[in-house]
Amino acid sequence: MKFSSRTILGTLLLCCLSILGALFWTQGIKEAFAATEKGNKKKQDLATQIKNHQKSGDFDKVLEISERALKSDPVDLEAYDARWRLIVKMFSEADAKKRIVSEIEALLQTHPETLEILNAAHWGYRHLPDGVKNVPSSLFDKMLQYPKTELHLLALLGLAERSEKAPQKWHYYQRVIDEFTASDVPVLSWYLLAYEEMLWLAEEDRSLVSDNTLGELIDRYLKAHLVYCQNTQQGLVWAYVVAVEARLKHNNGLDKALEILERAETRLGEEEEQTWIKRSKGSVEEARKDISRLRAEIHLRQEQWKEAYDGLLANAPDFSESLWKRFNERAINYFWMVGQSAERIGEWETARRYYADAHFAPKPHAEAQAGLKRVYDQMARGETANTLAAFLKDTEAEYRIREAADLDKFRQEFIKNRRNEKATDFRLETLEGETHSLSAMAGKVVLLDVGASWCGPCNISIPEVKIVYKHFSENDDVVIWGINDGETPEQVRKSLDEHQQPWPVLLDRKQQLRKAYQFKGIPFFILIDKAGNWQYSFLGSHLIKGQPLIWMVEALLSD
């Protein structure tokens, strides 16, 4: 075939045009991506700015910066969310609600009702006090128009949460389970929440479900839980244990519960399971103890007394691990179970000891005293001199000796490990503008209670800290300060009005102590000696009669 020069030139021209077009198209794509990335960066920067400036404590400045979110194009939902969280912190409940609701309504009116916009509006309402109760029914109706999405799931869970009657709650949680499966649910942990709430409702109102349906519900819960553990590479034993505990709690299918424990033991022997448990900072040995303990509890329910006694006694709580476990409600119930199994096989001294542990605890087990009387009837048989009153008095005396020994062991554990680090100085103000500095407290033992009004455990610990405060109220060498971790004066004032702490509360708006002392959670207690050295710290609300804080302060006073 022959080609004319005209044909060749025409072909070359078309090729050149195609190449140029491709180049322009590629450049256009690059520019479009660059614009998108720039927009995303801008969005990310604004939300990050809000969060970072908030940490500085200049809330008015942060509020001003966050107003850009209202005018951003494209809409910056992450910045909106950061702004609404800030408003809740800065203003009273009424003012915060007025501002946020108006901004949500404006957002919905000026932008298409996409999944993202509806989701942002939903969380905006939930940031307000009373949470899900603020969400309008009309918004839930719109969210329900997107089946098999996270938005749909959130709507069902929200409707269940704010329902006041158990059957209504049950209805919505049942819909979550019926309309989603463990394989297609957007957030599997929320799917599990529906099962957990249904089991809790069944515990509160047994008329909601039949025995057979409840058993099926627990089986499905276990199946979903196993999927969750598999997806997150967490130990499957966790799912098995929770399912068995549910069957024990509801006294449902105990033979099946034993089968589940056998599956758990088999799985525990696999290398993959042991790796997953260790990765999540769990203990294979603790998992074995959980299986053994649960099997013993099942045997107790089935009145297999010897098997129950052997298993329960072998796994009795180790009081040397922590002070809190000594008086934990679950531990107290465990003492009673050991006592019951010991009584049934005639181990009277063991029954006496564990019934005493359950009865003389700060929150006595309701049936432990009756157990002690039955033990007395057996042990005092044929004796005329000893009375029940004398028996109980002697039993309590022996208990108090054991308790004192346990407490001294705990005390020694808490006070022997000192940090001996120079404490970082700080200057903070109270709501009244009084300035306090750590360096000015030289020669005194200082206890810092770092917390926040939104922190449930912090609020739980306040009565215990009041015990500590009263214990040292006449000692001028002890100073107790509360440190509010990053909240606004409005929030601090409301918390003080509610809890009436008698010690000064200092406002750490820039979270200086969090940075200086590198703690990850609150409440966090810091104890500083007379020389200004950080010696002890304690994380959490697990305080009993002011301990271990009182022990730590006394140890520093004795230096």
* Range picked from 22-31, 280-289, 378-387, 403-412 for highest mean pLDDT: 280-289
pLDDT confidence tier of residue 527, bands split at 50, 70 and 90: very high
CA distance 109 to 353: 69
Where residue 48 falls among pLDDT bands split at 50, 70, 90? confident
Higher per-residue confidence, 294 vs 7: 294
pLDDT of residue 243: 97
Distance CA 300, CA 302 (A): 5
- The answer to whether the peptide bond before residue 167 is cis (omega within 30 degrees of 0) is no
**Residue type (1 letter), 286:** E
Is the model's pLDDT at 364 over the cut of 80? Answer: yes
| 363 Cα distance to chain centroid | 24
Cα distances (Å, whole numbers) of residue 505 to 59, 433, 459, 482: 19, 11, 14, 4
pLDDT category of residue 25 using cuts at 50, 70 and 90: very low
Residues 554, 416: contact at Cβ < 8 Å? no
* Position 19 pLDDT exceeds 50: no
- Mean pLDDT within 100-110: 94
Residue with tokens 């209670």: 449
> Which pLDDT value is given to residue 42?
45
| Stretch 205-218: mean pLDDT | 95
Residue type, 348: W
What are 82's two structure tokens? 């950061």
Half-sphere exposure of 15 (CA within 13 A, CB side): 6
Contacts of 200 (CB under 8 A, 6+ apart): none
Q: Are 539 and 399 in contact (CB under 8 A)?
A: no
Over residues 265-269, the mean pLDDT reads 96
Query: 344 CB contacts (<8 Å, ≥6 apart)?
Result: 303, 305, 308, 309
pLDDT of residue 62: 77
Q: CA-CA distance, 197 to 191, in Å (whole number)? A: 10
Q: Is the pLDDT of residue 226 over 90?
A: yes
Q: Copy the structure tokens of residue 136.
A: 């309008």
Interatomic CA distance for residues 154 and 171, integer angstroms: 15
* Contact of 527 with 554, CB cutoff 8 Å: no
Query: Which residue would you say has higher pLDDT here, 67 or 465?
Result: 465
pTM of the model: 0.78
Length of the chain: 559
Share of the chain above pLDDT 90, in %: 67
Mean pLDDT of the 84-100 span: 88
CB atoms under 10 Å from CB of 132, counted, come to 18
Rounded to 5 degrees, what angle do the CA atoms 321, 326, 331 make? Answer: 105
- pLDDT band of 487, cuts 50, 70, 90: confident
Given a cut of 80, is residue 59 above it in pLDDT? Answer: no
pLDDT given for residue 84 in this prediction? 92
In this model, does residue 117 exceed pLDDT 60?
yes
Q: Are strands 421-422 and 445-451 parallel, antiparallel or unpaired?
A: unpaired
Q: Could you tell me if residue 480 is left (phi over 0), alpha (psi between -120 and 50 degrees) or otherwise beta?
A: beta
Residue 56 has what pLDDT? 65
Nearest Cα to 88, choosing from 123, 49, 45, 115?
123
Tell me how far apart the alpha carbons of residues 156 and 430 are, in angstroms, rounded to a whole number.
44
Confidence of residue 260 (pLDDT cuts 50, 70, 90): very high
CATH number of 421-557: 2.40.10.10, 2.60.40.10, 3.40.30.10, 3.40.50.2300?
Answer: 3.40.30.10
Half-sphere exposure of 116 (CA within 13 A, CB side): 9
Pick from 64-68, 154-158, 404-408 the range whose average pLDDT is largest: 154-158
* pLDDT of 2: 35
Report the pLDDT value the prediction gives residue 148, as an integer from 0 to 100: 86
Q: How far is Cα 278 from Cα 284, in angstroms, rounded to an integer?
A: 7
Question: Mean of the per-residue pLDDT values for the chain?
Answer: 87
More confident residue, 335 or 91: 335
**Is the model's pLDDT at 65 over the cut of 90?**
no
Please tell me the distance from the alpha carbon of residue 358 to that of residue 328, in angstroms, as a whole number: 11
- The C-alpha atoms of residue 154 and residue 165 are separated, in whole angstroms, by 19
Least confident piece of the model among 60-69, 100-109, 363-372, 500-509: 60-69
pLDDT of 71 higher than 90 = no
HSE value, Cβ hemisphere, 13 Å, CA-based, for 134: 21
Residues 132-141 have pLDDT tens digits of 999 999 999 9
Taking the C-alpha atoms of residue 371 and residue 91, their distance in angstroms, rounded to an integer, is: 55
Q: Do 324 and 538 form a contact (C-beta atoms < 8 A)?
A: no
Give the mean pLDDT of 458-467.
Answer: 95
Using alpha carbons, select from 233, 231, 229, 232 the residue that is nearest to residue 243.
229
Q: Are strands 505-508 and 435-437 parallel, antiparallel or unpaired?
A: unpaired
Beta-ladder partners of 539: 524
Domain ranges within the chain, ordered by starting residue: 319-416, 421-557
For the four alpha carbons of 509, 512, 517 and 519, in that order, the dihedral sign comes to positive
Burial 521-543 (b: 16+ CB within 10 A, else e): ebbbbbbbbeebbbbbebebbbb
Condensed to tens digits (0 to 9), the pLDDT of residues 301-334 reads 999 999 999 999 999 876 656 667 767 888 899 9
